[in-house]
């Protein structure tokens, strides 16, 4: 197979795993549902794409350059639930023991690290798959770069972006600049949503084309745009990902290393996992079952799996 780079949006996958799966606990009571869901989905995408290079990227603690640009950036986001935050160190430990590169870069967001890796991978001739459902990252799609929604088992290419958002990937930043982004608290223009923003961008070709003709746009819509030029500019800067970071790794460092099989096996036992993950069984070959307390789990790796699980649970 040709060389490929799989970049995992760790935060996105972790949140989706936490909210998609039922509550699971280890024998000692430690919550494990997000860890199991994350591991299951990560192992599945690696098995599906067989990448030659893999990076799992998380947001680093602390402020970023976007917080310096806009104090209210992401201030509307709720704090991570305690049951979820307890599992984050376990997820990162799992990634490292699986032999995968884990990146956290201070002062920037995971999106910027992902964008820089994708740009480098593309320049080196690698096909790039970004495991994420984040709208912001759709700006990277095209020219050998796709997103993959692991929960819905869907490849997000340029055609899908156009169909879903009404604009091509290269206009996603312009779309957010106009419509804003509630999840990140990017202001945009009050009263202009995604559909209106997409319509305006199709009419004028780009945000720059729209702003050059703002004085000719009639009615309330035109007045709103003219009154919020500064907010539009700020929103565009907030939405645009950086692709030129000085990262602490090179692409050659992203080739998967040998798994820590013993460490993973011990980790799976402590967490009560009873099914193989990353090709590692919680038990040694020939080891008899019993002794340690088991937590029965049902793998849920897609929307269809989740629907089936809920249907069966309702019948019990």
> Are 16 and 43 members of one domain?
yes
Residue closest to 300 by CA, chosen among 22, 92, 48: 22
Q: Is residue 262 part of a domain?
A: no
> Are 62 and 96 members of one domain?
yes
> Are 202 and 145 members of one domain?
no
Instruction: Quote the number of domains for the chain.
Output: 2
Q: Is residue 312 part of a domain?
A: no
Residue 179 in tokens? 């419509």
> Are 43 and 181 members of one domain?
no
Q: For residue 203, how many other CB atoms are within 10 A of its CB?
A: 11
d(CA 222, CA 101): 48
Q: What pLDDT, on the 0 to 100 scale, is given for residue 298?
A: 52
The count of residues in the chain is: 316
- 59 and 298 Cβ atoms separated by less than 8 Å: no
Q: What pLDDT, on the 0 to 100 scale, is given for residue 313?
A: 40
DSSP code of 5?
E
Q: What pLDDT, on the 0 to 100 scale, is given for residue 304?
A: 57
CA angle 277-280-283, nearest 5°? Answer: 110
Q: What is the chain's alpha carbon radius of gyration, rounded to the nearest angstrom?
A: 22
Residues 6+ positions from 133 with CB-CB distance below 8 Å:
12, 16, 147, 149, 151, 152, 156
Does pTM surpass 0.85? yes
> Are 30 and 125 members of one domain?
yes
CATH of the domain at 154: 3.40.50.1010
Tens digit of each residue's pLDDT, the chain (316 residues)? 689 999 999 999 999 999 998 899 999 999 999 999 999 999 999 999 999 999 999 999 999 999 999 999 999 888 999 999 999 999 999 999 999 999 999 999 999 999 999 999 999 999 999 999 999 999 999 989 999 999 999 999 999 999 999 999 999 999 999 999 999 999 999 999 999 999 999 999 999 999 999 999 999 999 999 999 999 999 999 999 999 999 999 999 999 999 999 999 999 999 999 999 999 988 764 444 443 333 444 555 555 555 554 444 434 3
Taking each helix axis as running N to C, give the angle between helix 33-49 and helix 10-20, from 0 to 180 degrees, rounded to the nearest 10.
120
d(CA 8, CA 147): 10
Q: Is residue 70 part of a domain?
A: yes
Q: Domain range holding 22?
A: 4-161+243-254
Residues 6+ positions from 73 with CB-CB distance below 8 Å:
66, 67, 184, 185, 186, 238
């Amino acid at each position: 197979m040709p060389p490929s780079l799989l970049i995992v949006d760790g935060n996105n996958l972790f949140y989706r795993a936490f909210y998609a799966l039922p509550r699971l606990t280890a024998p000692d009571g430690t919550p494990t549902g997000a860890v199991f869901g994350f591991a299951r989905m990560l192992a599945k995408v690696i098995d599906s794409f067989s990448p030659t290079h893999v990076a799992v990227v998380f947001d680093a603690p602390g402020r970023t350059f976007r917080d310096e640009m806009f104090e209210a950036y992401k201030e509307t986001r709720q704090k991570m639930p305690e049951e979820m935050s307890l599992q984050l160190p376990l997820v990162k430990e799992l990634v490292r023991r699986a032999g995968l590169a884990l990146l956290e870069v201070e002062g920037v967001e995971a999106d910027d690290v992902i964008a820089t890796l994708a740009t480098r991978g593309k320049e080196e001739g690698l096909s790039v798959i970004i495991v994420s459902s984040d709208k912001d990252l759709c700006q990277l799609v095209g020219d050998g770069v796709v997103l993959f929604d692991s929960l819905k088992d869907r490849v997000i290419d340029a055609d899908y972006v156009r169909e879903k958002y009404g604009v091509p990937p290269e206009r996603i930043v312009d779309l957010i600049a106009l419509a804003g982004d509630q999840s990140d608290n990017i202001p945009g223009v009050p009263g202009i949503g995604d559909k209106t923003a997409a319509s305006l961008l199709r009419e004028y070709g780009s945000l720059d084309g729209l702003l050059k003709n703002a004085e000719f746009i009639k009615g309330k819509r035109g007045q709103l745009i003219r009154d919020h030029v500064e907010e539009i500019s700020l929103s565009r800067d907030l939405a645009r990902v950086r692709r030129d970071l000085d990262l602490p790794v090179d692409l050659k460092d992203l080739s998967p290393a040998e798994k820590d099989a013993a460490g993973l096996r011990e980790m799976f036992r402590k967490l009560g996992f009873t099914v193989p993950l990353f090709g590692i069984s919680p038990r040694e070959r020939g080891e008899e079952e019993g002794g340690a307390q088991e937590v029965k789990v049902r793998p849920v790796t897609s929307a269809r799996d989740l629907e089936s699980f809920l249907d069966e649970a309702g019948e019990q």
